[in-house]
Chains A and B, each alone.
Chain A
Amino acid sequence: MALKFPIFMDAQSTTPCDPRVVEAMLPYFTDKFGHPASRNHPFGWEAEAAVDAARGKLARLIGARDPKELVFTSGGTESINLALKGVAEMYREKGNHIVTTVIEQRASLDVCKRLERQGFEVTSVPVQPDGLVDVEAIRAAITDKTILISVMFANNEIGTIQDIPAIGKLAKEKGIIFHTDATQAVGKIPVDVEAMGIDVLSCTAHLIYGPKGVGALYVRRKGPRVRIAPQMDGGGHERGMRSGTLPVPLIVGFGRAAEVCQESMAEEAVRLAKMRDRLQDMILSSVDEAFLNGRPDRRLAGNLNISFAYVEGESVLMGLNKETALSSGSACTSSTLEPSYVIAALGASAELAHSSIRFSLHRFNTDEEVEYVGQRTIEVIKRLRDMSPLYELAKEGVDLKSIKWKAE
């Protein structure tokens, strides 16, 4: 099959909508445009039924006992904001301490920073060099003031999957609410809020072949009943937790995306892992001093994150970006102009954080694309190393740490 350019391998930033999702959504833009809160005419009933059906599909995907435990939001960022701020505000009288990790996504980190300014105390537990959080480190961070543990399910950069059931068990044992940012996990690996002891869970549609602009927050209703202080005032939609007219077409799309994921997850994970392993083998067998980031046996099937010593990430992307979409932990590709804090948290040098490249595969990638991207990556790395003063010094046997660098 002829390759079609550009090739997309940046599926942990977003995914294309599955055509089945688009098909399900279309009628809800035109014929079935009703407001689900219109209780007194067929347009409203139709819209409400569609939203309920989608809620049910999503509930099944994450093992929620009751679809009512799901609140629709505008996406992962809003879900995380609502979860952390909502719990913090509601349980403030009980305590002011939150335990989280250093590798959470930006939304979590920034909400925690705001909560700190408001008088909360946040303990960010480090990760081990393989990207995993030690559950005992979380246990050690808990105080009698701890009201919330928030740990991401799977990491957006290195794909590492945390031991969520163990953390859920610990939270239960201590009587602390447990939130997980599962934006990268839901739809890709089995998630079961009941079996895993999850009390609050954030997820989003656009990472599972659904539309951008819709996400959900799971809020446990029983054992324990978790309460969330709403962060949006208005008509009291979503059981009062999130006011605002529901974007019915997006929710229908989210539901269909969840349904497709549930049907195809097992098969898809095997296929993606096979392609990912091929890409990894190609690159690591041809490029010296390339380091795999994250624990290999506990990561998302489509994720591959490699640091290429002596070359800077943005320059790698620039060599490929006409034909292939990837992402990097380089400072030059981040809005903050800081290198990846996730790679840095693994204990790697800042240089290796600047040099990290993330390949994230998706449902529609092909074996041919994998071969092409692997080959091109190898070529670009070799070309950039030929013009890297660091590679030259290293090949001359100079220890780069022995040089007194003048940092800007």
Chain B
Amino acid sequence: MAYSDKVVDHYNNPRNVGSFGKDIPGVGTGLVGAPECGDVMKLQIRVNLETGVIEDARFKTFGCGSAIASSSLATEWLKGKTVGEAAKIKNTDIVNELKLPPVKIHCSVLAEDAIKAALADYQEKHGSVAASAASK
């Protein structure tokens, strides 16, 4: 199976690999997947509590090249988006951008799940602040 150039690029030059401290203000962490299924993604966002804008994102992924590329791309897309905008990222956007073949669609689904989990974690930790930022 040949990989698309974009998958290869993200695999060779993954964007935003790393971790934020979970207790840093504004950080939301999503950990999805399962080791026995062969893929686990950890995706983190750091949100500006004043503006509700995602200022930075990080990921770490255990998984195939397409899973690494999907999560790398997700972090790239998350940066600069508001929390509300981030929630609208769909797995199909990732599939189209990376030209993932049908057998790799689950990688994009997992990336969407990771985004949702990170957002949910952020909302849980910063719900009241986030709501007030959104109302500004």
Contact = CB atoms under 8 A, between A and B. Distances in A.
Interface stretch (A114-122, A146-154, A234-242, A329-337): A329-337
A232 interface: no
B77 interface: no
B61 A389 contact: yes
A243 B31 CA distance: 58
B131 interface: no
A407 B67 CA distance: 15
A337 B34 contact: no
Nearest to B39: A312
Interface in B91-136: 103, 106, 109-110
A318 B37 contact: no
Contact of A318 (B11, B33, B61, B106): B11
Interface in A305-362: 310-312, 314-315, 318-319, 330-332, 337, 339, 349-351, 354
Nearest to A339: B38
B35 A318 contact: no
B62 A407 contact: no
| Interface of chain B: mostly helix, strand, loop or mixed | mixed
Classify chain A's interface size.
20 to 34
Given A318-B11, A330-B38, A389-B40, A337 B63 contact: no
A348 B81 CA distance: 42
Given A312-B64, A387-B17, A388-B61, A332 B38 contact: yes
Contacts of B63: 312, 315
Interface string A247-291: 000000000000000000000000000000000000000000000
B19 interface: yes
Nearest to B11: A318
B103 A330 contact: no
Contact of A337 (B33, B67, B103): B103
Contact of B60 (A330, A350, A351, A388): A388
Given A315-B65, A349-B36, A407-B36, A389 B60 contact: yes
Given A350-B38, A389-B42, 6 more contacts: A331-B37, A332-B64, A349-B35, A387-B17, A392-B60, A407-B36
13 contacts: A312-B64, A318-B11, A350-B36, A351-B38, A387-B17, A388-B60, A390-B40, A392-B42, A392-B60, A403-B31, A405-B34, A406-B34, A408-B110
